Structure 1
Amino acid sequence: MLRALRRSGAVRTPSDLSALPFRVDRDRVAASPFFSRLGGVTQVVSPTGSGLLLHNRLTHSLKVAQIARGIAERLIADPAAGRLVTKLGGLDVDVVEAASLAHDLGHPPFGHLGEQVLDRLARNRFGLADGFEGNAQSFRIITTTDPGGPVATGLDLTAAVRASVLKYPWTRLSRPQPHPRTMSPPPRGASEPEDSPGTGSAKFSVYVTELDDLAQARAPFVGRLPNWQQTVEAAVMDTADDIAYAIHDLDDFHRVGVLQHATVWAELHGWRSRSIALGALPDADLAARARQPGHALEGLRRRLHLRDSWIVDDDAFDAAVSRVEREVVDSLLAVPFDGSTEAEQTVARFSTSWTSRLVAGVRVLAEPTTRSANIVLAPQQWHDVQVLKFIHRHFVLLRPDLALQQRGQARLLTTLVEALEQWLTDRMEAARLPRRLHDLVELAGQEYQELASTEPRLLTGPTGEVPAGRDAVYALARGRAVVDFVASLSDRQAVALMDALSGRSGQTWADALVL
């Protein structure tokens, strides 16, 4: 069966505990040190010192897996939905669980902030046309850089699981052809960033070094799905990711007292009480008054109309704002979290009831628009998620104190990358490189030399020039190796390594996983 095909062609190894190929994949991901590392990687703020209060990437991934498995079981139990997903390429609960556990493996230290910093450095400092993208890094880990599988590189997962990790099944610039960013409208994530024209898709799940794995993973779905469309299993994972993110981040920041009843209520009630007047404001006036209650939420409504006209509806948006005001603001946030049993039970009831409501809204579409997948939320639940995510963005991500911390983290990562590059180019110290970094340089060197000899235009950097000569190709490989190495660190490891490289640490030995 093509879905169960592994890169190596192997069926099962003696160390695999299960005879079921997709359960084997789930076990391999769960046993990976890249998965364990997620316990020390930022979800929104650094997990260091947060104890039980805040999610990290590991607990987030576990919740995504739980929700994804629940969605898959519901769809399989529905005869009509089951027939449709079979026609579209299949749906297996172990596949969606494995994909959910693997989907954030590529997130670097400090979460999305780290992702932005590494992308900028990869493109501008190292000339890597691919740059860095957390989703593509996850795919690279399971196919290439994780050494824990039964073959030399990667975890040797089945085609179905590899395909289900591909939220955005295209490269930044080149594959497939025609590239999804040229479609009108482009799939979600495929368009170029407004502030970086010419750099390729904002989101993508494959680097050019993993094109063979992309082709093999997608082979079972040829003729069933467009080459830019998520598989059903990838869409289930993606939907579960959205649901988990929308709910548990509100839990987190209610617990630590960041979400204040008065300010969140003022924004939501301000929009509901003046929605008609706010809707009549010119865009410039709305932006100029963005700090006044209700104005930011009106900005969200307008962005949804521009971006997702296929589903956005003003009545559903109004109903979502009303529901969130009633059930989040006037219920969850009305009583400050004090750590008591009663407070914990309130949070648990909120989380479980909203998760159940959103999961119940999952639907299968035979012919979705280019802006959605075959698995979608019903319109009302979709609007609920948009409003929940708005609260998180507006009242957490835009806080000045978080920006202050992130500016420091960005500077740390930038300095760390520069220091590692200098170490790599120091001929006197090359023999004392961390073994993991040395191995990554060798791996990337082989990959980039092969691309340079077969498809050199895939290596075209920001200048549009094809790298010529062994030194130029090696420089690209060196950059990719540094990025791979830094992306594999936890928050604490990144800080410890920078302290050691800067001479601030008095310890002789740094964390063993760093060296």
Structure 2
Amino acid sequence: MHEETSRQERRSAGQDTPDLAASPYRADRDRIASSPFFARLGGVTQVISPGGSGLLLHNRLTHSLKVAQVARAIAERLAAKPEVAATVDKFGGCDPDVVEAASLAHDLGHPPFGHLGEQILDRVARNRFGLADGFEGNAQSFRIVTTTDVRGPGGVGMDLTVAVRAAILKYPWTRLSHPDPHPSTMAQPPRGAAEPSDAPGSGSAKFSAYVTELDDFVQARAPFLGRVDDWQQTVEASVMDTADDIAYAIHDVEDFHRVGVLQHATVAAELGTWLTEALALAELSDAELAAQSRRPGRSLEALRRRLHAKDSWIVDDDAFAAAVARVRAELVDGLLAVPFDGSAEAEQTVAGFFSRWSTRLVEGVEVLLNPTTRSGHVVLAAAQWHEVAVLKFVHRRFVLLRPDLALHQRGQARLLTKLVDALDQWMSDRHEADRLPRRLHDLVELADTEYRALARTAPHVLAGPAGEPPTGTDAVRALARGRAVVDFVASLTDGQAAALLDALSGRTGQLWTESFVL
């Protein structure tokens, strides 16, 4: 499969490509790793802002490196089993270099302040600028590698191989229109394809391409036609997705143990209470469970019920109980039993926890011939799948729902909203338009070209489900300005976003000398 695609590897065929690596997939990996969009991830939030945390917390860069490490390990293990490798080849193959490159690229589009920034930019893009696509971090990553990064030989995007571009597509559909029929209309939509409950009619909650990159999307998926369904990930994308889940589940728990946020007593009470009272908790009605939500064990019981509702294809009560018991033994009675004090012994304990869990989860990876719509061809075995669910629960329940984190996030949300407002006002000031940052000006011209072409050839994709396509030059230009502002803000680090707003608000006397833009 990959031999076949390598003949049409680069869109700019015939151009000299001064890459250090001879393999096109390793050249892709090198291009991604040398991109300024990749470097900026060192200043972008994973869960909380990396500023001032030193070496204690993962950021998007270190997260991406660990995802690449895990993904390559999975791909090499699949290749080492002849019967599994033969099955994988039927679906298009699984090259370790491809999954490593895709893993390095998968978070390139994450904006300042991580998932919070993603939510804010999506709301602004749809409600303020009228962009039917809104904003989505995965789609922004694909836009970067195909369009806005200019370091590829063709000067547009990174000029990556079709295999790597396809492997980046974790959610292989656009928000509203492609493919047809759209996976959001399926009886059991794939993960992420359903629309968010708080935004009916807005399209899929997760998607991996904007309509402006639809030609790149179609080209990347073309070699896999007939091998995987339109809505299915390629095997390499499935490996990257699984590796992302594994890394996220382990190292976020590790992070918050290091900084003392994950407390032994509260986690022990939640897991221990559920294990001793599971039968009684299962008899509570949903209303009773909700009314008692602050009591230990109740949140974990609510998780068990959500898993049954969403993932009946794999969920099993015995496997869930075993997962809770394992996490209690290794996390609560192991890692959290001794507070992290920065000593060599504490570091070794953390390293051992990460190593044991990484190995266990990677060794639990399986390949399915006929997966459910809720999974890819590459999945975790039932035991490990439940363990990841419990580890992610611990992170959400005891970190993400903390009021002190909410306090910071509300401030970050206001910061991003004000920054978008300030940039939009600057762009609307005809007396100052010629002094826009060159990067922002270039992004406006790029988006204007894209939207004018779509307005001529496929105007329906520029309208939301209840809206009308834009008509007239001014309406199209307004969309372009909105997309440019979103592209611009999404390319900043946390610190750059805050400093840029200070400069635009007159709150700093220092000249704007830092390079805020990629």
Deviations 1:69-127 (A, max 9, x none): 00000000100110011111011010000000000000000000000000000000000
- Give 2:346's match in structure 1, choosing from 331, 343, 349: 343
Answer whether contact 1:172 1:201 (CA < 8 A) is retained.
Answer: yes
Pairing 1:417–2:420 present:
yes
Work out whether residues 12 and 153 of structure 2, in 8 Å CA contact, stay in contact via their aligned partners in 1: no
Q: Could you tell which deviates more after superposition, 464-473 or 164-173?
A: 464-473
Kindly indicate whether residue 193 of structure 2 is the aligned counterpart of residue 190 of structure 1: yes
Alignment partner, residue 29 of structure 2: 26
The residue number in structure 1 matching 2:57 is: 54
User: Pick from 2, 13, 16: which aligns with 2:16?
Assistant: 13
Aligned-residue RMSD, C-alpha: 1.0
AA in 2 matched with 1:30: A
Q: Distance in 2 between matches of 1:128 and 1:504?
A: 31
After superposition, what is the alpha-carbon deviation per residue over 1:360-384, rounded to whole angstroms, capped at 9, x for unaligned?
0000111101111000000000000
Checking the alignment, whether the CA contact within 8 Å between 2:146 and 2:159 is kept in structure 1 is yes
Is it true that 1:210 corresponds to 2:213 in the alignment? yes
Residue in structure 2 matching 1:363, options 344, 361, 366: 366
Q: 2:408 aligns with which of 402, 405, 411?
A: 405
State the TM-score, normalizing by the size of structure 2: 0.98
| Distance in 1 of aligned mates of 2:13 and 2:495 | 37
Q: 1:334 & 1:166 partners in 2: Cα distance?
A: 40
| Alpha-carbon separation, structure 2, partners of 1:271 and 1:12 | 62
2:500 touches 2:516 (CA, 8 Å); kept in 1?
no
| 1:132-171 correspondence runs (5 A) | 132-171=135-174
Is contact 1:12-1:19 (8 Å) kept? no
Q: Structure 1 residues 290, 510: closer, same or farther in 2, change over 3 A?
A: farther
2:269 paired with 1:266: yes
One-letter amino acid of the counterpart of residue 11, structure 2: S
Alpha-carbon distance in 2 for matches of 1:235, 1:348: 27
Q: CA deviation at 1:514?
A: 3.4
Q: What pairs with 1:426-465 in structure 2 (closer than 5 Å)?
A: 426-461=429-464, 463-465=466-468
Instruction: Give the conservation status (yes or no) of the 8 Å contact 1:117–1:413.
Output: yes
TM-score by length of 1: 0.99
Q: Give 1:512 shift.
A: 1.5
Matches for 1:30-429 after TM superposition, within 5 Å = 30-429=33-432
Q: Which amino acid aligns with 1:297?
A: L
Q: Tell me if the contact between 1:7 and 1:157 (Cα under 8 Å) persists in the aligned partners.
A: yes
Counterpart of 2:455, as a letter, is A
Which whole-Å CA distance do the structure 2 matches of 1:13 and 1:291 have between them?
62
Q: Check conservation: 1:444, 1:481, Cα contact below 8 A.
A: yes
Structure 2: unaligned runs, 5 residues or longer: none
Aligned residues: 515
Report how far residue 463 of structure 1 moved.
4.5
Q: In the TM superposition, what is the alpha-carbon distance from 1:16 to its structure 2 partner?
A: 0.7
Partners of 1:43 and 1:55 within 8 A in 2: yes
Retained in 1: the 8 A contact 2:264–2:337?
A: yes
Q: What code does the residue aligned with 2:56 have?
A: L
Letter of the structure 2 residue corresponding to residue 112 of structure 1:
H
What is the CA–CA distance in structure 1 between the aligned matches of 2:173 and 2:351, rounded to whole Å? 38
Cα distance, 1:323 vs. partner? 0.3
> Structure 1 residue 18: deviation in Å?
1.3
- Cα deviation code 1:465-497 (max 9, x no counterpart): 111111011111110000000000000000010
Unpaired runs of at least 5, structure 1: none
Cα offset, 1:68, TM superposition:
0.3
